[in-house]
Chains A and B, each alone.
Chain A
Amino acid sequence: MSKLHSVKLPHYSASAEQSTRKIPAPEVVAISMAQHIGAPCEPCVAVGDSVKVGQKIGDSEAFMSAPVHASVSGTVKEIRDVMNVFGRICKTVVIANDNKNEMYEGIKPPKCDTREEFLKAVRESGAIGLGGAGFPTHVKLAFDKSKVNIEYLLLNGAECEPYITSDYRELMENSDNVLAGIDLIMQKLEIPNAIIGIEEDKPAAIDKLTKLAIRYPNISVQKLPGAYPQGAEKVLVHSLTGRVVSEGKLPSDVGCVVMNVSTAGFIYSYIKTGVPLVKRRITIDGNIVNNPANFFIPVGTLLHSIVGFADVRKQPDRIVLGGPMMGSCAFDPDTPLGKTNNAVLLFADTKKAEPTACIRCGRCVRACAANLMPTELESAFDARDVKELQRLKVNLCVNCGACSFVCPAKRNLAEKNQLAKDFLREATAPKK
């Protein structure tokens, strides 16, 4: 098995050994109708309606979608267009919290005897990939058994970005549910094997899961090298099974379904309790945070509630949603957090990288897990050279940011790759 390129990142995980806490209930939540990749939902409540925790407030007819639910009880204050964490502007239901935390009456464990019932239940739970990309989980699980032969359920517990420890806390605090969830998915979808991949820098989680997994003969735990980007889907599939997901293919084409460990844990608790995805765990950390830790937040908590609550030494000048390698900077403290947010990082005194000329040192080439040549991609994009961008396969870039990280000239290579992908998409789109 050939080794993929990777980079060593600095290790920040001060929040790792703190158990997950709750934040004070926010006064309002703003729940975006687009919590995932795919079609946004349409609100199914109106201004003035009173809603309870777990009540469905938005749904869509589209397959590539998942419903959204109220995360607090209270009154729908307004429905307006807000930019969500993906930078998409879409309808958002703002709910004033009545602090009663009343559960919706309709909540009961779903019926899931057959495969179809199970998939329907997963959809109704509003489950999406909790790792960050936000792919609706039921879509991932609804593979066509007549076309693909799924041999492995791969559980992503790599958590390879610095600072973030929310999946680690899930593995430590909710290990039984994670394993039960994996077992349930394997049974319902008839997947013979499951492998949980955990990076070697989390020995406690590896130990704990390995011991508990003895009860499940077909679930194994595998130690992954501490090399970024270990958690990238294609890299994970390669590390755990040695299989290569080719260009334009999905892991299911090589017999694998990849899922975040926290998603598996959530699915189990949904099937048992019927409480949909209304809260999630996030890491609050950064260079000005005094007590980095993980917190459960209701979906739709506004960023400024978090910033106001966090114990910081000084005012942040940069807020990163997600990890430091792939997360995005928040524009607006009123941004509502969603199901995909696994971290809020607060920084101060950060400097903007000042790019200087490329010295052709080749560090980016040796950092790229996709084996691309970022510096050549940059020149190809600067020249708007469609053919060259296609030849260099810019579409295979997963935007892990390793190239920009290692660049001694501080060039924004990863950013250029994203721009190049957009440019290529537009340039090659069929003309009307």
Chain B
Amino acid sequence: MSKLFVEASPHIRSPRTTKNIMLDVIIALCPALVASIVIFGYKAAVLVAVCVASCVLFEFLFNKIVKKKGTVSDLSAVVTGMLLAFNLPADLPVYMAVIGGFVAIVIVKCLFGGIGQNFANPAITARIVLMLSFTASMTSVWAKPMAWLDKTDAVTSATPLNVLASGEGELPSLMDMLLGLRGGCLGETCIAALLIGGIYLICRRVIRPITPICFIGTVALLTFFSGGFDVNYVAYQVMGGGLVLGAFFMATDYSTTPMTDKGNVIFAIGCGVITFLIREFATYPEGVSFSILVMNCLTPLIDRFTASKPFGAITPKKEGKKE
């Protein structure tokens, strides 16, 4: 008999791997990618390509330099690159995107130990770093949707949330909001495409619906009350900014969110409340990124407090006085 192979049980494994999870996320991001190219033209494609390439390259180089096993093949850097690009304005200078890729992969992900070890969402943290470093390019130059058809580089200075916050300017129709014909970051505008991707992830059991439902639900509920029970206002708030992108694709990131169901509910509601507070009371019109980052930081604490109670466990009584 040939040599026998010996291994601890179990001897069968599920077909799910880290790589095919990441591949599913990439597939889920594709409708929004196509929509962004349609809406903002070829420059959207260029920006996504630059972000993905820089993220993959930085991860490859980092692993080479610190002599770690290569992890590029798990596709997680591709996901980070796509999400980073989706969080940037289509007109952002390319070198800034590369800096974003460096921050996301090297500083936020690899320096903390690579996949699974980072406490903050790389794409979101990179976006915030870029926003604070290049405020003008990141927050005031929004490409006009479909402008590439007239071969112009028309820009608009306002996103729908800017309009809502300042009360100046014209709001796009709700249908335009759904289709993504509005100013905003590259991948966040086309709500319909994001929903298709989100539903795909839920059907493939990559994410569970609890997080997006609680996140979006909290924002909707709070704006419903603060906006004087105006359903239209709620619709603009929910479809505006990066809420749908964040709720389906960033607040569901495994590494940086709690592991238990209860923990995820707390996380998502926390994100919703902070998003609402920033949008309503702070100077920024948009709060999704900050809310997710803040909740990322609280994740270890949430995990600690929502740890599952072992079945049949007897919790030791607090040590009393010894007789």
Residues of A within 8 A of B (CB): 4, 7, 9-10, 162, 234, 238, 244-249, 304, 307, 315-320, 324-333, 345, 347, 350, 352-353, 356-363, 365-366, 368-373, 375-376, 392-393, 396, 399, 401, 404-410, 412, 414-415, 418
Contact = CB atoms under 8 A, between A and B. Distances in A.
Contact of B3 (A249, A317, A353, A405): A317
Interface string B293-323: 0000000000000011111111000000000
Contacts of A352: 5, 7
B13 A362 contact: no
Interface of B: 1-14, 16-18, 20-21, 71, 74, 76, 114-117, 254-255, 258-261, 307-314
Interface centre among B3, B5, B12, B258 (most CB of A within 10 A): B12
Contacts of A7: 14
Nearest to A358: B116
Given A333-B4, A369-B311, A414-B8, A405 B14 contact: yes
**Secondary structure at chain A's binding surface: helix, strand, loop or mixed?**
loop
A361 B201 CA distance: 14
Given A325-B11, A370-B310, 7 more contacts: A244-B312, A329-B11, A331-B6, A357-B117, A371-B309, A371-B311, A414-B8
A359 B255 contact: yes
Contact of B9 (A249, A328, A361): A328
22 contacts: A246-B312, A316-B1, A316-B4, A325-B11, A325-B12, A326-B9, A327-B9, A328-B9, A329-B11, A331-B6, A350-B5, A352-B5, A357-B115, A359-B21, A373-B259, A401-B10, A404-B9, A404-B13, A408-B21, A409-B116, A410-B17, A412-B8
A315 B2 contact: yes
Given A317-B2, A361-B254, A406 B14 contact: yes
Given A234-B312, A328-B9, A361-B254, A373 B1 contact: no
Nearest to B69: A356
A357 B14 contact: no
B116 A246 contact: no
B78 to A, nearest CB: 15
A369 B12 CA distance: 18
Contacts of B254: 359-362
Contacts of A307: 1
Nearest to B2: A315
A319 B4 contact: yes
A365 B4 contact: no
B312 A373 contact: no
Contacts of A409: 17-18, 116
Contacts of B13: 353, 404-405, 407, 410
Contacts of B8: 328, 412, 414-415, 418
B10 A324 contact: yes
Contacts of B21: 359, 361, 408
A341 to B, nearest CB: 14
A365 B14 CA distance: 15
Given A324-B10, A369-B311, A362 B260 contact: yes
A401 B9 contact: yes
Contact of A304 (B1, B16, B18, B309): B1
A245 B312 CA distance: 6
B62 to A, nearest CB: 14
A332 B12 CA distance: 21
B5 A393 contact: no
